Chains A and B, each alone.
Chain A
Amino acid sequence: MPSIAKPIATHPTLQRNALGLTIRDYEGSMSTLCAGCGHDSITAAIIRALWELDTQPHMVAKLSGIGCSSKTPTYFLSGAHGFNSAHGRMPAIVTGAGAADRDLLYIGVSGDGDSLSIGLGQMCHAIRRNIRMAYILENNGVYGLTKGQFSASSDIGSKSKRGEPNRMAPIDPVRLALSLGATFIARSFSGDKEQLVPILKAAFTHRGFALVDVVSPCVTFNDHEGSTKSYKHTRKNTLRATQADWVPPQSEILAQISKSGTTSVAMHDGSVVHFSTVPKDYDPTDRRKVAAYLDDQPANAVVTGLLYIDPNAPDMHELGQSSPTPLRDLAYEKLCPGSAELERMQEEFR
Chain B
Amino acid sequence: MPQYIRLIAQGKYTDAYMVNRESNVFPAILGRTCDRPCEPACRRGRLDGAPVAICRLKRVAADLKGDISHLLPKIPTESNGKRVALIGAGPSSLTVANDLRPLGYEVTIFEKQNKPGGLMRSNIPSFRLPEKVLDDEVGTILDMGVDIRYNSPVSSLQGLLNDKYDAVFVGTGAPRGKELDLPGRKDTDRIHIGIDWLESVAFGHIDKIGERVLIIGVGNTAMDCCRSSRRLGGKDIKVMARRPRGYFKASPWELDDAEEEGIDIVINHAPKRFVVENGVLKGMEFERLEWDAEAKKSRVIDEVFLPADDVILAIGQENAFPWIERDLGIEFDKWGMPTVDKATFQSTRPGVFFGGDAAWGPKNIIWAVAHGHQAAISIHNHCQGVPVTDRPKQGSNLVSQKMGISEWSYHNDYNPSKRQKMQHVELTKRFQQLNIEVELGFDPEQTAREVQRCLNCDIETVFVEKRCIECDACVDICPVQCLTITRDGEESELRTRLSAPATNLEQAIYASNPLPQTGRAMVKDEDVCVHCGLCAERCPTAAWDMQKFDLLIPYAGAPNSGVSCTTSSVLA
Q: Closest Cβ of chain A: how far from B509's Cβ, in Å? A: 14
Query: What 0/1 pattern do residues 1 to 34 of A give for CB contact below 8 A with B?
Result: 1111011111111100000000010000000001
- Taking a contact as CB atoms under 8 Å apart, the answer to whether A11 and B470 are in contact is no
Judged by a CB distance under 8 angstroms, whether B151 is at the interface is no
List A contacts of B479 (CB < 8 A). Answer: 6-10, 24
**Contact across chains for A235 and B414 when beta carbons are under 8 A apart:** no
| Shortest CB distance B537–A (Å) | 5
A41 CB–B CB distance under 8 Å: yes
Does B39 touch A at the CB level, under 8 Å? no
Q: Which of A12, A34, A191 contacts B470 (CB 8 A)?
A: A191
Bound together, the chains give a CA A204 to CA B470 distance in angstroms of 26
Q: Closest approach, in angstroms, between the C-beta of A79 and any C-beta of chain B?
A: 19
Chain A contact residues, majority secondary structure? loop
Asked whether any CB of chain A lies closer than 8 Å to the CB of B282, the reply is no
**Interface status of A100 (Cβ within 8 A of chain B):** no
Given contacts A10-B479, A231-B517, contact A3 B472 (CB under 8 A): no
Q: How far is it, in angstroms, between the C-alpha of A338 and the C-alpha of B414 when the chains are bound?
A: 59
Could you give, for residues 394-432 of chain B, a 1 whenever the CB lies within 8 Å of some chain A CB and a 0 otherwise? 000000000000111000111010000000000000000
**Would B472 and A193 count as touching, CB distance under 8 A?**
yes
Docked-complex contact B414 and A9, CB < 8 angstroms: yes
The answer to whether A36 and B537 touch across the interface, beta carbons within 8 angstroms, is: no
Q: Are A219 and B471 within 8 A (Cβ)?
A: yes
Known: A3-B407, A231-B469. A35 touches B540 (CB 8 A): yes
Contact A235 B471 (CB under 8 A): no
User: Inside 8 A of A65's CB, which chain B residues have their CB?
Assistant: none
Contact mask A217-260 → B, CB, 8 Å, 1/0? Answer: 10100010000000110010000000000000000000000000
**A2 CA to B481 CA, complexed, in Å:** 18
Contact string, A274-305, partner B, CB cutoff 8 A, digits 1/0? 00000000000000000000000000000000
**Which of chain B's residues have a CB closer than 8 A to the CB of A44?**
472, 475-476
Residue of B nearest to A43 (CB): B476
Of B171-179, B319-327, B366-374, B525-533, which binds chain A? B525-533
User: What's the tally of chain A residues with a CB closer than 8 Å to chain B?
Assistant: 32
Question: Cα distance A190–B469 when bound, in Å?
Answer: 12
CA distance A40 to B474 in the complex (A): 10
B448: chain A residues at CB < 8 Å are none
Which residue of B is nearest A4, CB measured? B413
Given A4-B413, A7-B414, A219-B471, also A40-B407 (CB < 8 A): no
A41 in contact with B414 given A2-B538, A10-B480, A231-B517 (CB within 8 Å): no
Q: A7 contacts which chain B residues (CB < 8 A)?
A: 413-414, 479-480, 530, 532, 534
Question: Which interface residue of A7, A24, A235 has the most chain B CB atoms within 10 A?
Answer: A7
Chain A proximity mask over B517-547: 1 for CB below 8 Å, otherwise 0: 1100000000010101110011111000000
Determine the main DSSP class of B at the interface with A.
loop
List chain A residues, Cβ under 8 A from B500. 11, 13-14
Q: Is the CB of B471 within 8 A of A191?
A: yes
Q: Are B471 and A36 in contact (CB under 8 A)?
A: yes
Q: Which residues of A contact B537 (CB under 8 A)?
A: 2-3, 35
B477 within 8 A of A: yes
Instruction: List, in ascending order, chain A residues with CB within 8 A of B475's CB.
Output: 44
CB distance from B101 to the nearest CB of A (A): 45
Which partner residue on chain A sits nearest B539 by CB separation?
Answer: A35
Q: Does A38 contact B (CB under 8 A)?
A: yes
Q: Please, what's the 1-or-0 string for A185-205, where 1 marks a CB less than 8 Å from any CB in chain B? A: 000001101000000000000
Q: How far is the CB of A230 from chain B (nearest CB, A)?
A: 9
The answer to whether B472 touches A41 (Cβ under 8 A) is yes
Closest Cβ–Cβ distance, residue A1 to chain B (whole Å): 6
* Chain A residue at smallest Cβ distance from B536: A35
Closest beta carbon of chain B to A302's beta carbon, Å: 14
User: Given A4-B532, A217-B471, do A34 and B540 touch, yes or no (CB 8 Å)?
Assistant: yes
Say yes or no: A8 contacts B472, CB within 8 Å: no
Q: Quick one: given A35-B539, A191-B471, are A3 and B412 in contact (CB under 8 Å)?
A: yes
A295 to B465, CA, bound (A): 38
Q: Can you sample 10 A-B contacts with CB below 8 Å?
A: A2-B538, A6-B534, A8-B479, A11-B528, A13-B501, A24-B479, A36-B538, A41-B473, A190-B472, A219-B471
Interface, chain B (partner A; CB < 8 A)? 46-47, 406-408, 412-414, 416, 469-473, 475-477, 479-481, 500-501, 503, 517-518, 528, 530, 532-534, 537-541
Minimum-distance CB pairs A-B, first 5: A36-B540, A7-B414, A44-B476, A36-B471, A3-B406
With A12-B528, A13-B503 given, name 8 new contacts (CB 8 A): A2-B537, A3-B408, A4-B413, A6-B534, A35-B538, A36-B540, A37-B471, A232-B517
